[in-house]
Amino acid sequence: MVFEGSRKTARAAAVIRPGQGRIRINGFLVEALPNYLQREMLLAPLRLSGELRYKVDVDVDVKGGGTMGQAYAAAIAISRALVGFSRSVELKRRLIEYDRHLLVGDPRRTEPKKFGGPGPRRRYQKSFR
């Protein structure tokens, strides 16, 4: 079964199947990720799932965005895959209590730049009246 997650411009697709608890992100085991924060973010839904963690293998394919956006997108895909695979209302409730955005997603996007300034809100300064 394939489950998807997205954050900003990052898109993740998770394939879940019965197994021994291996979680791969773009072919790499999640325990081998160098960034501690990303690793913890990806392991949070697995910790909340309890024993289900050791009964399934999850392969996640992530594209686009930055490193943290990809980590969030993969965490969302993993959470949705675990809930969809187990069909557990209890797991869904636990995930929503921990962090609602693990299942629902976050709609915020970057605001486009506008004229008259360096960014979307800030304006160039002037030294006269």
Q: Is the pLDDT of residue 81 over 80?
A: yes
The structure tokens listed for 17 are: 């199947």
CA distance linking residue 24 with residue 12, whole number of Å:
12
pLDDT at 63: 97
pLDDT digits (tens, 9 = 90+) for 22-39: 999 999 999 899 999 999
Q: What is the mean pLDDT of residues 50-60?
A: 93
pLDDT at 1: 87
Cα–Cα distances (Å) from 90 to 32, 55, 96, 97, 100, in that order, read: 30, 17, 10, 11, 14
Q: What is the pTM of this model?
A: 0.89
DSSP H helices in 4-117: 36-49, 67-86, 89-98
CA neighbours within 13 Å on the CB side: how many for 122?
4
